[in-house]
Amino acid sequence: MLKGISPLLSPDLLRAIAAMGHGDELVIGDCNFPAETMGKHCIRADGVRGTEILDAVLGLFPLDTFVEAPVTLMKVVPGTLDGDPPIWNDFRSIVDKHQKNVKFGWIDRFEFYARAENAYGTVATTEQALYACIILTKGTLL
Amino acid sequence: MLKGISPLLSPDLLRAIAAMGHGDELVIGDCNFPAETMGKHCIRADGVRGTEILDAVLGLFPLDTFVEAPVTLMKVVPGTLDGDPPIWNDFRSIVDKHQKNVKFGWIDRFEFYARAENAYGTVATTEQALYACIILTKGTLL
């Protein structure tokens, strides 16, 4: 335990987000995401929700202001879900809490995988909501 | 860079202090300390002063309240210095800034080495002041 640091930020996750530089990407994967095959580092967060990790990470992690959308979600594969996944509203609220005027982007499933493969790392949560994977692009402290 | 985290806390140092538990010890070594032969982890902080690292670490690291003296210094070896090393006053001020009523302890050089060997890790600073090594015992968040 450290003063003012969420206990959800494991030593490995803390190390990862500190080591990342401008433009590096962190994936927060849900329970179905192939986390261990993506990115240079896979950091386990078993028993933890994606929303919880997102909130803890954004307490320290600045989102990129140099790109249009520093938060990226996976588009719903046609025919798999009616309407938007409810968890996207939760992601929106959490992001808004930490940083103002952040735009979200959406990409297809396999484009999402390609981005994730090039990411700095992936947090493997056990979030059970559908379409609950999210890519965060790291910014700078202005 | 992370929001609210000192840039002196490298990813490896951040990981170490997060991974340490109650009673684990972190050594901040000066430029003469045999840091790479002590403790399980040696974390380099070249170009950084011991006072700077102490201040950055204590911003996050709770000192142990279960022991008499959670801060330990090395006794001056007789004949090597007149009076107390001036940096001890700086260490005192930095500790007081972060936590109230913290007692310091002093041990002989080789007892200090023995403690350091069993420490979780050592930060290898390039602090050039004399007798500028310090052992911090980690506490809990109460």
Residue among A10, A12, A13, A15 with most chain B CBs within 10 A, to mutate: A15
Task: Quote the CA–CA distance of A12 and A18 in Å, as a whole number.
Answer: 10
Query: Is 3.40.1650.10 the CATH classification of the domain at A23-137?
Result: yes
Residue of A22, A84, A96, A108 marked active site: A22
The pLDDT of residue A72: 98
Task: For chain B, 142 residues long, give each residue's pLDDT as a single digit of tens.
Answer: 999 999 999 999 999 999 999 999 999 999 999 999 998 899 999 999 999 999 999 999 999 999 999 999 999 999 999 999 999 999 999 999 999 999 999 999 999 999 999 999 999 999 999 999 999 999 999 7
Task: Quote the CA–CA distance of A98 and A89 in Å, as a whole number.
Answer: 15
Domain boundaries, chain A: 23-137
Quick check: helix, strand or coil at residue B114? helix
pLDDT per position as a tens digit, A57-113: 999 999 999 999 999 999 999 999 999 999 999 999 999 999 999 999 999 999 999
Q: Please report, for chain A, how many H helices and E strands are present, in that order.
A: 4, 6
C-alpha distances in Å from residue A17, one per residue of A2, A110, A116, A123, B106: 16, 25, 15, 11, 37
The pLDDT of residue B74: 98
Please report how many Cα atoms fall inside a 13 Å half-sphere around the Cα of residue A36, on the Cβ side: 4
Mean pLDDT of chain A: 97
The pLDDT of residue B61: 98
Residue of B24, B55, B64, B131 marked active site: B64
Please classify residue B50 by burial: count the beta carbons closer than 10 Å to its beta carbon, then call 0-12 exposed, 13-18 middle and 19+ buried. buried
Asked if pLDDT for residue A39 goes beyond 90, the answer is no
- Known catalytic membership, residue B113: yes
Letter string b/e over residues A101-131, b meaning 16 or more CB atoms within 10 A of that residue's CB: ebeeeebeeeebbebbeebbbbbbbebebeb
Task: Quote the CA–CA distance of A65 and A68 in Å, as a whole number.
Answer: 8
The pLDDT of residue B39: 84
Share of chain A above pLDDT 90, in %: 97
Interface of B with A (CB under 8 A): 1-5, 9-12, 14-19, 59-62, 140-141
The pLDDT of residue B14: 98
Share of chain A above pLDDT 70, in %: 100
C-alpha distances in Å from residue A63, one per residue of A26, A135, A140: 11, 11, 8
Report whether A29 contacts A125 (CB < 8 A): yes
The pLDDT of residue B63: 98
Report whether B127 contacts B49 (CB < 8 A): yes
The pLDDT of residue B80: 94
Residue B125 in tokens: 């600073």
Which of A38, A42, A43 is CA-nearest to residue A109? Answer: A38
Interface of A with B (CB under 8 A): 1-5, 9-12, 14-19, 59-62, 140-141
Asked if pLDDT for residue A142 goes beyond 90, the answer is no
Residue B34 in tokens: 């045999």
Its ipTM equals 0.91
Residue B114 in tokens: 């023995």
Using the beta-carbon criterion (under 8 Å), do A141 and B18 form an inter-chain contact? no
Compute the average pLDDT of residues A34-59: 96
CB atoms within 10 A of CB A34: 13
Task: Quote the CA–CA distance of B112 and B52 in Å, as a whole number.
Answer: 21
